[in-house]
Each structure stands twice: as C-alpha cells, then as structure tokens.
A and B are shown apart, each in its own frame.
Chain A
Amino acid sequence: MAGRGRGRTQFTFNVDSLGFGRGEALPASALVPSPLFPPLQFRPVPLPTGEEVDYMLALKQELRASSKILPSHIRPGRVKIDVDRYSDKYQSGEPKHSAVEWNPDWSRLPRELCIMGPKTRKAKARPPLKHKVKTTTAKELVQKLETLEKNEKNQSEGEEDEEKKKTGEEEEESGEGEDYDEEEFEEETDYIMSYFDNGEDFGGDSDDNMDEATY
C-alpha cells in the first residue's frame, strides 16, 4: 500500500496549500482563451470634475485642433484614385497651407535635410540665367548690329529698325518673363491654370439658403 501510494497518490508538495483536497474535482479546464474584455469586478472611480479639469480639457482639444493647421502637420501625398489624368500634371499636389509659411532656420538643421535648397536654387538660377541670356543676347545683338551696319550699309532702315525692335521686344520679353503670372507661364502651356480645375471647389462656398434637393 505504501509502495503503491508512493508512486501514484503522493504529491511532491503540500496539497493543503492548493485550496482543494485530493479527492475533490479539479476546477474545469478552460477550452477557450480568456475573454478580451473580462467583466469588471469593480466599477472605476468617476473622473474628477472641477474648473481646473475642464480648463485642461478645453486646452487639450484646442491644441489638437490648432496643431492640424500648423505647417508642421504634414499630410501624405495624394493617392491616385483611378486613371492618371492630364490635369494632375498642372494641379499642385500639396494643399496651400495657412498664411503661416514654414521656414525653419536651415542653419540649425543638417544640410542633407534641406529639401527646399534645390528648389530655391532652381528659382534663383532662372533669373541669373535670364540675365545672362539677356546680356548675351544684348551683347550678341549689339555686335550683330554693328557688324551688320558695317557690312551691309546699304540695308534699308526698316530692316535695322525691325531688328532693333526685335531686340527691344526680346529684352522686354525676358524682362517681363518674370512678371508673367506664374499660372500662365510656369509650365509652358497655352492654358491658364483655372482651365484645369475639375470643379471640386465649385458650389462648396455657397452661402445661399439652398434646399438640398433640387427638382
């Protein structure tokens, strides 16, 4: 008996501390994982109320709302919904931010983060190029004129005038090139930018007391 008991019925630890006797039924084994939201035994204490709490709540909500307008809130690029459209090329991808432009102090950030750099360089490169072009064309034209004067003194005055007018026009053009509306000149199309509006903004600003359903 003792031998048989030793092998089978004797546990290696003190059974009393388990809370159930040897002969009693073991607690039922769980066949499912424990519930995701187990029922609460005690209800949580209610939130504190008071002026301070309300004020901080208002502050928090205001902070959240205003941080969405700030330039540091970066929206992901527009996802293409369906087919590529021709107008996509001429619509700016980023929505225009609020009046506050974001100009961090680039001297405090590492140079490799400076994405605006190339863009500003491009913009700056264009006018100097134009200037150079202007000066070269002006110089070349002046030289041309001189040579033409020298070589072809018999040319009619009209042609010379025409050339001068042309140079004048070209100078004006290159001077006015910067003055053209960005909309019209930037992308070198023949259409103004509003041509490419696809009507999304139409009707959204109506202040009239229109009925929603029109028959």
Chain B
Amino acid sequence: MTAQEVRLCALLLQEHFGEVVEKVGTHLLRSGALNLRALVKKSLCVLVQHGMCTFGPGRRGPAGPLEYRVSCERILYMLRYPRYIYTAKSLYGDTGELVMEEILQRGQMTMSNTVRTVADRLTQNMEDGQSTDYNDVVTAFSRLVETHFLQRFSEVPESPVGGKGGVQMKMVTWVQELQRKPNWSTQRWESRAVHTHLCECIYPQHQPLRCNSTPPALSPQACGDEGIYWQVNVERFHLHFRHQAIISAVASKLDQTSSEIVRTMLRMSEVTTPANAAYTQAVSANEIFRAVPPSYNISRPILDQYLTLLVDDPMEFVGKAGDSGGGMYVVNLHRALANLARATLESVVQERFGSRSARIFRLLLRKRHLEQKQVEDFAMIPAKEAKDMLYTLLSENLVQLQEIPKTPDHAPSRTFYLYTVNQLPTARLLLQNCYKAVGNLIDRRLFETKENKRHLEKSQRIEAILGSLQASGAEPAQLAEVEEMITAPERQQLEALRHHINKLDSSENQVDETIFLLESYIKSTSCSR
C-alpha cells in the first residue's frame, strides 16, 4: 500500500465512518496486522461489518490473540459505490437500485431486513394509499443473487480467511420454491419454506440455526434467515464494467453492429469463462448467429465478414481459435485491457504535454527502444524541440533511459543511450497519480465546505424554517420575509460553493473510471504471470 493509497483511504473512511474509524483504519493500514490491544473495538466492528477488515488467528497460532487485517482495495472500492448503484438501476430498475444502496451502506444484511427496508422506502415515495408488494422486492433481490451481483458473506472467525468471494449459491431451487407460494400479500413469510430450503443451501461450515424437522413458530419480526448475510459481489460488477469498456471501445473504433456482436459473444461466454481468464471460452459462429438479437437483421455471410474484420483489426479484441462450427472465436480479454490501458496512457500524455509529445510517446511504445537521433527522425519533429519534450517526459518518469555500454568501463562517449517506455510501470505510476488526484479532490472539497460552514449552516436553518412554515400553512408574506434573510451576495456565494462541490464530486467519479481501467490492467498482467 503506497502512501497515496493510504491517504485516500483515510479520507474516505473519515467521510463515511467518522474520525475514529479513520484513525484506526489508517493505523492498521500503515502497520500491517496488529492484535487488539492498541485499537478501538467499535471501529473494528464497523470495518469488519463492511467487509474491509478480516480477522484470523495470528502469528502465534490459534491460541494467541486474533489479528486484524484491513484490505486497502476494499476501502478504495468505496469510490465506486455510485457506479455500482447506477448499474443496478439500469439492469434491474428502481427496486434493484434501492436494494443495492441498502446493502452497500450497511455492509452486509439479511434478506428479510433488506426487503423490509426497501419496501418501506418505496412505499414512502409512492402516493398515499398504495403500498409496495414485497414480492417485487423479493424478485429483484433474487435476480441480483442469480446473476451473482450479490453473494453470501463468508464468515466464521475460526475458519481460515481464504478467498475473497463468498459462496455463490444455486438459488434457483430456492427462488422457485418461494415463487410457488401463493400468499405473498401477507407481510409475514412462509417461514417453513424459507427454512427448509435455506438449510439445504447452507454453507457446510455454518451451523444451521434451527434446522429441525418442525420449525418453531416464529414471531412476525423474525423470518427464517437469521445468520445468512448478503454482501455485494464487487468482482462481478467489475467484470460487467470491463465488458462495457470493451464493447464501447469496439463501438467507437468500428461500428454499432460489431459492438453488438462482441456483446453477444461476451454474454454467451459469461457463465463459462473463469474469472481472470485471458480469453473467453470459444464460441462458434453458428452459435453467435443464433444468439445475436434479431433486431439487427444480420445475415450469415455478413456476420462472417464482421467477424473477419474484428479478427483482423490491429486492436486484437477478437481472435480466431479454430475452424469448427463455422469458425471458433474468442474475445481476448487481457489484450483488450492492455490496449485500453495503453490508450489511457497516450491520452494522458497528450492532454498534459501536447500532441507532439504524445507522438513521441506513442512512437516509443511501438518501437520499444530508440536513440535520441532516431526519435527525432521518426517523429518528424525538429531536433531542439524533440530534445526538450523528451527531457520533460523523462523528468516526469514517463520515459526511461536505458544504457547499453560498448566497453566494460561504461565510458559515456562509447555507450548507447536508448529511450524506452514500459507500459506496466508507467501504468502503475499513473495509477498512483490518480489516487493522489482523488485525495486532492476530497481535500479540496472538505476545505471548501469548512470555509463556508457558516453560510451552509445558515442556509440549512432557513430551509428548515421555511419547510416547517410551509407545512403549517403560513402566508406567502411570511415565507418571503424568511427568504429575505439570506442576502443576495450570500446567495451567490452559496451558489458558487454548490457549483464547486458538484464539480469536485463529478471529477472524483471521473478519475475513478480511469482508476478502474488501470487497476484492471495491472491485475490482469499479474494474473497471467
């Protein structure tokens, strides 16, 4: 964990969980794993609840004190919560969005709690007299589980904390059973059905709670699923985002139809491809033809042409893996990620240093090692300017210098000096810059809020007064008088403040997209090794 990451984590923790948790979290991050004596217990509970901290038997073995480990990655994912929620909304509607929001905010929840809270919220927002059917929420929840966006929270302190993923249940039988039950209009659930099937699906190490043949009568508050907690499966979301990035890249490079073809291929191989594979499972052209949505009206020979185009494209998104079944095609996931990362690097250089420096950078990426004279020639830039740009890039560490001595004494007049760009270290460097950028953005936002705290508080108080006046039915004259309590320059200042904070927030979201791309690329390279 680098210093920038720690700083960013500290800021995020402070924002969402308060200063105490922030101090505890940063202390743990900085010092690795510690046992309990130095720490505040409650903040640990919060961190564990949200899945950011894990505990297990310490260095001295099971008899010694427990050790706690905070996962830096998991904290940094907090930046991405709005994106997760928005994806859930676009896939599963408002109900899905609310379910996701509840679980993200609480860390982990039981299904019954989630359903109840979400239904209440929906009812609040709806008109009077209507109420949400619990069935809708249950359906949304079960669909999220089926598509693996939600997963069981792996638990139990004594078991070794292995693997990030929870158990992904085959919830099909359970969901079917639930949907077969007729009386969903009642608020209480059919505890027996929930019981038996949850007991069936239960994780082997978990002690099933009341798995007797005759379930006891439950109070209306307790549904059958205590102890079964659900959390958000961030890996699945990341897979979704990666696919989205690839599809949009194909769409912008080629055209809409090719992106549809790639989307179909990804969808078909989603379930069968292991999580960090370099290539998707091969799908045959016949299958693609059958699976492409009919609205596109692609005939078989045209599909073949599109596939050939995709394979021949220098971006190498799609590759041909065989000839059976009309041609077996795979999507090259890792190569696609590498290309996307490279495009990001190039665009960063272009925006910071100008298009000619970007030309030099791209040249070095393609040609690997070049001498200074060769750079000037290939880039077609006059010598003096090329030198200047090269040195600027070198000072920013985006370009490295490689010495190749001709003689053993490394005499400078008899050594080749080659400029080179390594994609992976440069990506790591940019990633750290991104973390620093987000840290700066959050800092600035906190600073702006603190500066204008007095104004903000005043405006909040006045809004509260206005709201209560309106609720109690006051005259417009009174309302106008209250509104005049904020003077015009103050109003302008508040407007400017709001504008700044919106901009800073929006920038955070934007930088997070870059962070995601670079992180995925770096992770993919470490997997393939």
Shortest distance in angstroms between B39's beta carbon and chain A's nearest beta carbon?
9
User: Chain A interface: which size bin?
Assistant: 35 or more
B15 on the A face (CB < 8 A): yes
Given that A12-B411, A209-B469 are contacting pairs, would A57 and B502 also be in contact in the complex, using a CB cutoff of 8 Å?
Answer: yes
Shortest distance in angstroms between B147's beta carbon and chain A's nearest beta carbon? Answer: 21
The docked-state distance in angstroms from the alpha carbon of A14 to that of B413 is 6
Contact A207 B469 (CB under 8 A): yes
Chain A residues closer than 8 Å to B387, beta-carbon distance: 17, 19
Q: Could you tell me if B82 and A13 are in contact, using CB atoms closer than 8 angstroms?
A: no
Indicate with 1 or 0, residue by residue over A56-72, a CB within 8 angstroms of chain B CB atoms: 11011101101100101
A213 to chain B, nearest CB (A): 12
Least CB distance, B193 to chain A, in whole angstroms: 23
Asked if B432 is at the interface (CB within 8 A of a chain A CB), the reply is: no
A133: Cβ under 8 A from any B Cβ: no
Q: Does B510 contact A (CB under 8 A)?
A: yes
Is B508's beta carbon under 8 Å from chain A?
yes
Say yes or no for B116: interface residue by CB 8 A criterion.
Answer: no
| Cα–Cα, bound, A31→B296 (Å) | 66
Contact between B105 and A13, CB atoms less than 8 A apart: no
Interface residues of B in 66-84 (CB under 8 A from A): 66, 81-83
Q: What is the bound-complex CA distance between A47 and B507, given in angstroms? A: 7
Least distance between A124 CB and chain B CB atoms (Å): 20
Tell me if B107 and A44 are in contact (CB < 8 A): no
Chain B residues numbered 474-494 whose CB sits less than 8 Å from any CB in chain A:
474, 478, 481-482, 485
Choose the segment among A101-109, A168-176, A182-190 that binds chain B (4+ C-beta atoms closer than 8 Å).
A101-109
Residue with the highest number of chain B CB atoms closer than 10 Å, among A74, A107, A112: A74
A42:B354 contact, CB within 8 angstroms: yes
Main secondary structure, interface of A, reads loop
A59 to B509, alpha carbons, bound, how many Å? 11
Let me know if A60 and B509 touch, CB within 8 A: yes
B367 within 8 A of A: no
A31-52 with Cβ < 8 A to chain B: 41-42, 44-45, 47-48, 52
Asked if B21 is at the interface of the complex by the 8 Å CB criterion, the answer is: yes
Interface centre among B46, B155, B229 (most CB of A within 10 A): B46
What residues of chain B lie closer than 8 Å to A107, measured between beta carbons?
Answer: 227
Residue in B closest to A210 when the chains form the complex, CB atoms = B465
> Given the complex, which residues of B lie within 8 Å of A55, measured CB to CB?
86
Chain B proximity of A45: nearest CB distance (Å): 6
Measured between beta carbons, the chain B residues less than 8 angstroms from A73 are: 16-18
Partner of A105, one of B81, B227, B469, B505: B227
Distance from A52 Cβ to chain B, minimum over Cβ atoms (Å): 7
B507 touches A112 (CB 8 A): no
What chain A residues lie within 8 Å of B60 (beta carbons)?
none
Minimum CB–CB distance from B123 to chain A (whole Å) comes to 16
Stretch in B48-56, B196-204, B262-270 touching the partner: B48-56
* Residue B412 lies at the interface, judged by CB distance under 8 Å to chain A: yes
| Distance, CA A45 to CA B417, complexed state (A) | 35
Asked whether any CB of chain B lies closer than 8 Å to the CB of A158, the reply is: no
Nearest residue, chain B, Cβ from A113: B41
Kindly state whether residue B127 has any CB partner on chain A within 8 Å. Answer: no
Contacts of B508 in A (CB 8 A): 60
Q: B-facing mask of A163-181, CB < 8 A → 1, else 0?
A: 0000000000000000000
Cβ of B137 within 8 Å of any chain A Cβ, yes or no, is: no
**Residues of A with C-beta under 8 A to B478:** 209
Cβ contact of A209, chosen from B17, B413, B481, cutoff 8 A: B481
Residues of A104-160 at the interface with B, using a CB-CB cut-off of 8 Å, are 104-105, 107-110, 112-115
- Supply 9 further A-B pairs (C-beta < 8 A) apart from A73-B18, A74-B46, A108-B155: A12-B411, A13-B413, A41-B354, A47-B506, A56-B86, A57-B502, A74-B43, A75-B19, A209-B478
* CB-defined A-B contacts under 8 Å, sample of 28: A41-B353, A42-B353, A47-B510, A48-B510, A56-B86, A57-B506, A66-B105, A72-B16, A72-B46, A72-B49, A72-B106, A73-B18, A74-B17, A74-B18, A74-B21, A74-B43, A76-B18, A104-B45, A107-B227, A108-B229, A109-B49, A112-B36, A113-B44, A113-B48, A114-B41, A115-B42, A209-B465, A209-B482
Query: Measuring CB to CB, which residues of chain A are less than 8 angstroms from any residue of chain B?
Result: 12-14, 17, 19, 41-42, 44-45, 47-48, 52-53, 55-57, 59-61, 63-64, 66-67, 70, 72-76, 104-105, 107-110, 112-115, 207, 209, 212
